[in-house]
Amino acid sequence: MADYFDLSGKVALVTGGSRGLGFEMAKGFAGQGADVIVTSRDAESCQKAVAEVEALGRKGWAIPAHVGKWDAIDRLVEDAYAAAGRIDILVNNAGLAPAVARSADMTEDLFDKTIGVNLKGPFRLSSLIGPRMMEQGGGSIINVTSTGAMKPEPAFAVYAAAKGALNILTKGHALEFGPAVRVNAIMVGPFWTDMAKAWREELDKTIDSAVRRIGRPEEVVTAALYLASDRSSYTTGTVLTVDGGQR
């Protein structure tokens, strides 16, 4: 079963791929034979992640970019195709989840950044890469969303709104780019990542879920491998929940 999710000959682009869930997915793809393009805002972090990919015997490219900015996304796509020649798997994983005490405290700039990274970026990347995947005969787009979209908390309401919209966009793009290209989402619960460092320890002890803890980043990998590989050939437009059985 070692090659059940074989990705040999494929190229994956992972946004937010230098840490957390994105980093684990990048390594998971490389472990199954894919070459990986890692992007985040920090060039040094991207290079470190690529070194891990290359240590697994695969090619890696570090292409830093701000995926909340339209023109930066356009450059990222051109640079990625120039480097790797193709993209078979796109993972829209980069996220931004600022907390505010009251909605009135949300500034316009922070609102725009939150929507930009969590919704505008995935939309633009998919809209550029999806048609190229269609031309090459197939591909898989994976959007990483959040269970916050189903259970929004006031402090993170804008983030939750963006992730809820990304769930909807997943279905829309599945219909637009199908049948050659599959578009799915992984709707994750709380995970032990840098983004969660302010609350992860307490929630890990108190969360009311079936597994009684929050997730570890490596626990998202199998879901990503399933959606990236041909094993999910009849799965598209789907939002797959990975949350440890939250109530």
Q: How many DSSP H helices and E strands does the chain contain? A: 8, 7
Given the DSSP bridges, would you call strands 181-188 and 139-146 parallel, antiparallel or unpaired?
A: parallel
Contacts of 60 (CB under 8 A, 6+ apart): 30, 35, 36, 37, 38, 49, 50, 51, 53, 54
Hunting for tokens 């994976």 — which residue is that?
142
| 8-state DSSP, 50 | H
* Angle at 144 (CA atoms; ends 143, 145), nearest 5 degrees: 110
CA dihedral 43, 61, 81, 222 (to 10 degrees): -110
Just list the catalytic residues: 159
